[in-house]
């Protein structure tokens, strides 16, 4: 597609349920990023993929969070046993991998997650 | 202060005035980027400045980078109401592309 897409755009769930968020990056972008943004706050880095591998998962807030990327394209972020503090907008971005530094990131519109 | 911390946190100006936002960071970087966010959703890339560059222009935007002070500034000239948004700087320490850091942002309001 022309840009990064994310689904769903909004998700309301009950505390304790699992949710799966999807990100479709720009075709050809090898790098993919997940961020979380709470209301009125900056972006919290969660995880980065280069191809299908994530070199460092320490940015994930807890072991309830996991992410995968298959085929070097679509990525899913899964949150198990959701808590109210997980409520936020989850943003995905993709970029070409730039050998000399961080590549320009193209962001999706985000998924607004509300945990009741 | 945090890596990629912007100041001021909020800025309100009249249309036509210039707006200056600053960003400070802590570690060595290869480049620094500025992004704009409208309505709390997806961010839009504005400009990238490499560590060996001191100044860069793009339309009404001017970015400077001072690696000795670990700081950058974004200047928007002749501001318009449509420039109302939050502005963030982003860095990745050294070659650690898996540790992207965005600052808390500067909220800019341009009053018509």
pLDDT tens column, A19-56: 999 999 999 898 899 999 998 788 899 998 888 888 77
DSSP code for A105 = P
Say how many CB pairs under 8 Å bridge A and B. 79
Chain B nearest-CA residue for A92 = B42
Does A42 contact B at CB distance below 8 Å?
A: yes
Alpha-carbon distance of B61 to A54, in angstroms, equals 34
Structure tokens at A28: 């050809």
Neighbour tally for B6: CB within 10 Å: 25
- Burial category of A13 from C-beta neighbours within 10 Å (exposed 0-12, middle 13-18, buried 19 and up): middle
Say whether A110 and B51 touch across the interface (CB within 8 A): no
Question: Nearest C-alpha of chain B: how many angstroms from A80?
Answer: 23
Which DSSP string do the residues of chain B spell out, in sequence order? --TTEEE-SEEEEETTS-EEEEEE--S-EEEEEEEEESTTS-EEEEEEEETT-SEEEETTEEEEEETTTTEEEEEE-S--GGG-EEEEEEEEETT-TT--EE---EEEEEE-
Q: Could you read off the pLDDT of B12-46 as tens digits, one per residue?
A: 999 999 999 999 998 888 889 999 998 767 799 99
Q: Could you read off the pLDDT of B49-101 as tens digits, one per residue?
A: 999 999 999 999 999 999 999 999 999 999 999 999 999 999 887 666 557 88
Give me the pLDDT at residue B27, please.
Answer: 84
Structure tokens at A39: 């209301």
**If contacts are CB pairs under 8 Å, which of residues 55-114 in chain A contact chain B?**
55-56, 59, 89, 91, 93, 97, 100-110
Q: Measured between beta carbons, which residues in chain B are less than 8 angstroms from residue A91?
A: 42-43
Q: Could you read off the pLDDT of A69-102 as tens digits, one per residue?
A: 988 899 999 999 999 999 999 999 999 877 667 7
Question: Nearest C-alpha of chain B: how many angstroms from A81?
Answer: 25
Mean confidence (pLDDT) of chain B: 89
Say whether B42 and A107 touch across the interface (CB within 8 A): yes
Give me the pLDDT at residue B74, please.
Answer: 97
Three-state DSSP state, A85: helix
Q: Measured between beta carbons, which residues in chain A are less than 8 angstroms from residue B40?
A: 37, 39, 89
Q: Summarize the confidence of residues A62-70 as an average pLDDT.
A: 94
Say whether B41 and A109 touch across the interface (CB within 8 A): yes
Q: What share of chain B is helix, strand, coil (3-state, %, to 5)?
A: 5, 55, 40
Alpha-carbon distance of B39 to B107, in angstroms, equals 11
Alpha-carbon distance of A101 to B6, in angstroms, equals 21
Q: Could you read off the pLDDT of B18-27 as tens digits, one per residue?
A: 999 999 998 8
Q: Measured between beta carbons, which residues in chain B are less than 8 angstroms from residue A4?
A: 42
Residue B3 — very low, low, confident or very high, per pLDDT cuts 50/70/90?
low
**pLDDT at residue B2 greater than cutoff 60:** no
Alpha-carbon distance of A33 to B87, in angstroms, equals 19
């Amino acid at each position: 597609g022309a840009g990064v897409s994310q689904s769903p755009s909004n998700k309301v769930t009950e505390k304790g349920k699992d949710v799966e968020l999807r990100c479709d990056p720009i075709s050809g972008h090898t790098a993919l990023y997940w961020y979380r943004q709470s209301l009125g706050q900056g972006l919290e880095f969660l995880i980065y993929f280069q191809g299908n591998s994530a070199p460092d998962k320490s940015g994930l807030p807890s072991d309830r969070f996991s992410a995968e990327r298959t085929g070097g394209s679509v990525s899913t972020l899964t949150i198990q046993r959701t808590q109210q503090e997980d409520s936020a907008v989850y943003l995905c971005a993709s970029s070409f991998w730039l050998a000399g530094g961080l590549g320009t990131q193209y962001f999706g519109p985000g998924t607004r997650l509300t945990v009741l | 202060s945090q890596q990629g911390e912007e100041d001021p946190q909020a800025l309100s100006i009249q249309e036509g005035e210039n707006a200056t936002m600053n960003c400070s960071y802590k570690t060595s970087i290869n480049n620094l980027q500025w992004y704009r966010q409208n309505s709390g959703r997806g961010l839009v890339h504005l400009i990238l400045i490499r560590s060996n560059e001191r100044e860069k222009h793009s339309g009404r935007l001017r970015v400077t980078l001072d690696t000795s002070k670990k700081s950058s500034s974004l200047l928007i000239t002749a501001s318009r109401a449509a420039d109302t948004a939050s502005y963030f700087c982003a860095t990745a320490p050294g070659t650690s592309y898996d540790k992207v850091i965005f600052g808390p942002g500067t909220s800019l309001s341009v009053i018509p």
